[in-house]
């Protein structure tokens, strides 16, 4: 599947911020869990609180990445073996 970024992702905020805002839009019972290894990552994530997406923006994101079309592991097995959480 070829991914074409929706127009909303060309604005002055990061894809990560758009993802956080999208998760926040799913309802009050859904909470985005944000990981940040560095302070810069945390600043970027917190910056999502200043981002506002319209209904059209959210529709563009959902059209670009339809529910049920994303499948498979996050990382290849070789990459998983290098993660701290996977080391024994």
pTM: 0.68
Could you tell me which of 68, 13, 78, 2 has the C-alpha nearest to residue 45? Answer: 13
pLDDT higher for 38 or 81?
Answer: 38
Tell me the average pLDDT of the chain: 82
Q: Name the least confident of 19-23, 55-59, 62-66.
A: 62-66
User: 15-24 and 39-47 helices cross at what angle (nearest 10)?
Assistant: 50
Q: Does position 61 have pLDDT exceeding 70, yes or no? A: yes
On whether the CB atoms of residues 75 and 30 are closer than 8 A, the answer is no
Look-up of token digits 């799913």? 26
């Amino acid at each position: 599947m070829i991914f074409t970024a929706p127009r909303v992702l060309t604005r002055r905020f990061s894809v990560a911020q758009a993802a956080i805002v999208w998760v926040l839009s799913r309802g009050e019972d859904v909470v985005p869990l944000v990981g940040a290894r560095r302070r810069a990552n945390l600043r970027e994530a917190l910056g999502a609180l200043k981002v506002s997406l319209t209904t059209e923006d959210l529709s563009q994101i959902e059209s670009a990445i339809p529910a049920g079309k994303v499948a498979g592991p996050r990382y290849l097995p070789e990459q998983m073996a290098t993660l701290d959480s996977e080391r024994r």
